[in-house]
Amino acid sequence: MSTSRKFLLASAVAIAALAAWACGETVIQTVVVEKEVQVQGETVIQTVVVEKEVQVAGETVVQTVVVEKEVQVAGETVVQTVVVEKEVQVAGETVVQTVVVEKEVAVEVEVVKEVEVIKEVEVMAPEPTATASLIGTIGAPDPKTEGGAAVVGFAAIGQQVGRNANQASDALKNWGVAETLFRRGPADETLPWVATDWTISPDLTTGSVTIQDGITFRTKDKDYGPLTAEDVAWSMNDANNAVNTTSIHGQAGDFAGLWGEWRVVDENTVEWNFVSYDGTWKDDYVNQSGQAFPVLSKNAFDTEGEDFVRDTVVASGPYLIDTWISDDRIVLAADDDHWKFSPKTSTIILVQAGDPTNRATLLRTGQIDTAQLEPKDAANLIVDSSNWGQSGTGGATQLGVFFSGNLWETHHAVTGEPLPDPGKGGPFQHDHAWIGSPGRHGDDDMEQARQVRQALAIAIDRDAVNDSLLAGLGTVVDVEYFASSHPNFDGVQCTQEPGGVYTDEAPTGTGPCTYEYDPVKAVQLIKSQDPDWRKTNVVSDILDEHRFEVSVYAGPELGGGASVTGEVTDAVAGYWADIGLSTFSLKFTYVTFRPTVVGRSNVHPFVTSCDKGRESNPWHFPKGLVQTSLTRGGFSCAFESPKILELYQGMAQAKDTAEATDYANRYLQYVYYWNLQPGIVAVPNDWFWNRNKIAAWPQDRAAASGINNLWDIELAQ
């Protein structure tokens, strides 16, 4: 299928979605985009499944659009691809399971009447570019929002949570509701915030911070006294799973892998012991830029009780919560007496606008003042000084496939205790083609699974995903956690040649660390294996008896995903179906999925950014923490490796940037060779604002947040 045809279909989907929104219905659109490729001398069809939900009050309508085309194959059969949607029960809740079903049918069989066939039309469409200026100027509307307030369109407004153990949002520090210890400067330097300075012992075993005087906790109704070292220590310990085993904070496991209990030395000093020293602790885990914790009031917890702080944020930021209505809106009011910042806008209103096309429509009609847009919607804007402003935190969100279930560590990295046998009720209990078990067949099984993962990685057309789902505005990602455009990327040499030893080798090579799209080679790799994973009598027309079933989970926002994660996941499932596999995508709540990655029981590959997948992360930042047993009890990518543990600790404990970079390069070579986390695309996450309402919004650069500094939003005069 030509580029022009693909863009014609994408435009048709967007127009249909907008029309459905205007009619007051919730529409789930499924589009199957097909193109011809050569596989072993035969012309077959690639199928990319794209789903889009338009969120509006009203009944739910499922619309299925299938682009069909005859396949010229020897004989008198064609491959008919049908998208089937059905409700299934997952952990007691009903979810929608999308299954791509392939079957051989006789040529003379008529097309099922329920399937609408859309003919391809040759129409010249604009070629994608790397800017948000594709289709023509759309003038900024007259604002219809409240005067004196900036109205921000948000994907989701969750519940108000005021305790770290209950998963208080990381975003509180980015909005300005709460604060954390440090900030990131324009040259990546560490700036003081709640903490004024720090010390680290020469042997890297202990650390401490000094706390700023004059900070006050308050809500709109009441003051809760000064912020002291006791509040900082309690906030961290409440989040850290090693200290509070009931914590479900987003970084509960990360904190457990870094340090033990934080201790109060005096009113302004906190100290701790490192479990495993990480040189970026102050730049990431206690920094607004990274995966930090909000400092919350222990006094409020002690005097008001656990139930109160669970549902009420008592913090010290430049904005106070005036109203918080889940699934609707948050109203923030400026604290004019804040110790550090003077908000430029007195009122910020965050409104839920879940569907990205809906957000774009609300922005263009003046119903909201700013929104984070998907690339396909941003491509319709001309960003210039008279119409639209644009800013962001500097990093696109990477999406990749993480191959869960490869648990290769045998002893806990912290305690030294033997880890549970993954063959007894764990991932090795069944033989999955993409999971290598050192204990089942040794190096043979490891090599077989490595090559299967390689096949799955090169079966994905990353350029097509970028063009079709991101309007060409994203970037291709070869290996998660690394930007392929970074100057260091071309300097690292990788290999896929057999011979690596999983426990102690990060093989070097003579070629780039890239995954070139090659479905023919993908089929050859799978068919060259002994199909000992086979559990079914179903035979594929492409893979013969080598066919296996593989599902892929659409990773959540909380795990570091993006608004198009579901669509990208469907595309991955479609590409894997094209090489003859039985594939389907899984889409259910993160609450249901999270226990499987915490408990290391997940065996489904999943599409996510998995903690560090942001283009704005410095190259030398330690990578791989959540791929080791250091974070047992908390989030993980659901695989573990002793080599990754070694390389992570090397990056974390490096004496300088050059040493950390060397370890990062070896980590890249290792995860590429073992095909543990092939990337797909990086999704831009810039914010666009109506210049008739907002004059400026500078945002600090961030490694783990898509929004920053609401207190710097300045309204137009």
Q: How confident is the model at residue 556 (pLDDT cuts 50, 70, 90)?
A: low
Mean pLDDT, residues 292-313 taken together: 97
**Is 707's pLDDT higher than 50?**
yes
Of 42 and 26, the structure prediction assigns the larger pLDDT to 42
pLDDT for 37 equals 47
Mean pLDDT, residues 512-530 taken together: 97
Specify the amino acid at residue 27: V
Q: How far apart are CA 642 and CA 458, in angstroms?
A: 26
Q: How far apart are CA 554 and CA 567, in angstroms?
A: 9
**Is 111's pLDDT higher than 50?**
no
Mean pLDDT, residues 586-593 taken together: 86
**Is 40's pLDDT higher than 60?**
no
Mean pLDDT, residues 571-595 taken together: 92
pLDDT for 7 equals 29
Of 39 and 447, the structure prediction assigns the larger pLDDT to 447
Of 588 and 670, the structure prediction assigns the larger pLDDT to 670
Of 27 and 580, the structure prediction assigns the larger pLDDT to 580
pLDDT tens column, 56-65: 333 333 443 3
- Range among 27-41, 528-542, 667-681 rated most confident: 667-681
Write the DSSP string, 9-68: HHHHHHHHHHHHHHTT-EEEEEEEEEEEEEETTEEEEEEEEEEEEE--SS-EEEEEEE--
Q: How confident is the model at residue 114 (pLDDT cuts 50, 70, 90)?
A: very low
Torsion sign, CA atoms 272, 274, 275, 280 = positive
pLDDT for 512 equals 96
Q: Where are the domains of the chain?
A: 3-117, 149-395+685-715, 402-683
Q: What is the dotted CATH code of the domain comprising 402-683?
A: 3.10.105.10
Cβ atoms 685, 475 nearer than 8 A: no
Of 510 and 539, the structure prediction assigns the larger pLDDT to 510
Specify the amino acid at residue 25: E
Q: How confident is the model at residue 243 (pLDDT cuts 50, 70, 90)?
A: very high
Of 528 and 498, the structure prediction assigns the larger pLDDT to 528
**Is 32's pLDDT higher than 90?**
no
Write the DSSP string, 253-306: HHHHHHB---EEEETTEEEEEBSS--TTIIIIITBTTTT------HHHHHHH-H
- CA 169, distance to chain mean position in Å, is 16
pLDDT for 538 equals 64
Q: How confident is the model at residue 356 (pLDDT cuts 50, 70, 90)?
A: confident
Reported as type and span, the H/E element at residue 689 is strand 687-690
Mean pLDDT of the chain: 81
**Is 240's pLDDT higher than 60?**
yes
Share of the chain above pLDDT 90, in %: 58
Of 648 and 114, the structure prediction assigns the larger pLDDT to 648
pLDDT for 706 equals 85
Write the DSSP string, 673-684: HTTSSBEEEEE-
- Range among 3-17, 302-316, 492-506 rated most confident: 302-316
Q: How confident is the model at residue 175 (pLDDT cuts 50, 70, 90)?
A: very high
Mean pLDDT, residues 114-140 taken together: 38
pLDDT for 410 equals 94
**Is 79's pLDDT higher than 60?**
no
Specify the amino acid at residue 245: T
Q: How far apart are CA 151 and CA 632, in angstroms?
A: 40
In the three-class reduction of DSSP (H, G, I as helix; E, B as strand; rest coil), residue 223 is classed as strand
Of 486 and 137, the structure prediction assigns the larger pLDDT to 486
**Is 655's pLDDT higher than 90?**
no
**Is 131's pLDDT higher than 60?**
no
**Is 697's pLDDT higher than 60?**
yes
Which of 202, 197, 205 minimizes the C-alpha distance to 260?
205
Q: What is the dotted CATH code of the domain comprising 149-395+685-715?
A: 3.40.190.10
- Range among 70-84, 301-315, 378-392, 549-563 rated most confident: 301-315
pLDDT for 537 equals 63
- CA 287, distance to chain mean position in Å, is 19
pLDDT for 226 equals 98
pLDDT for 359 equals 92
pLDDT tens column, 599-651: 999 999 999 999 889 888 889 889 999 999 999 998 899 999 999 999 999 99
pLDDT for 102 equals 42
**Is 120's pLDDT higher than 60?**
no
Share of the chain above pLDDT 70, in %: 77
**Is 496's pLDDT higher than 90?**
yes
Cβ atoms 492, 514 nearer than 8 A: no
pLDDT tens column, 284-297: 899 999 889 999 99
Q: How confident is the model at residue 268 (pLDDT cuts 50, 70, 90)?
A: very high
Cβ atoms 628, 611 nearer than 8 A: no
pLDDT tens column, 413-436: 999 999 999 988 889 988 999 999
pLDDT for 384 equals 61
Of 85 and 606, the structure prediction assigns the larger pLDDT to 606
Of 508 and 307, the structure prediction assigns the larger pLDDT to 307
Weakest-pLDDT range from 230-244, 328-342, 350-364, 384-398: 384-398
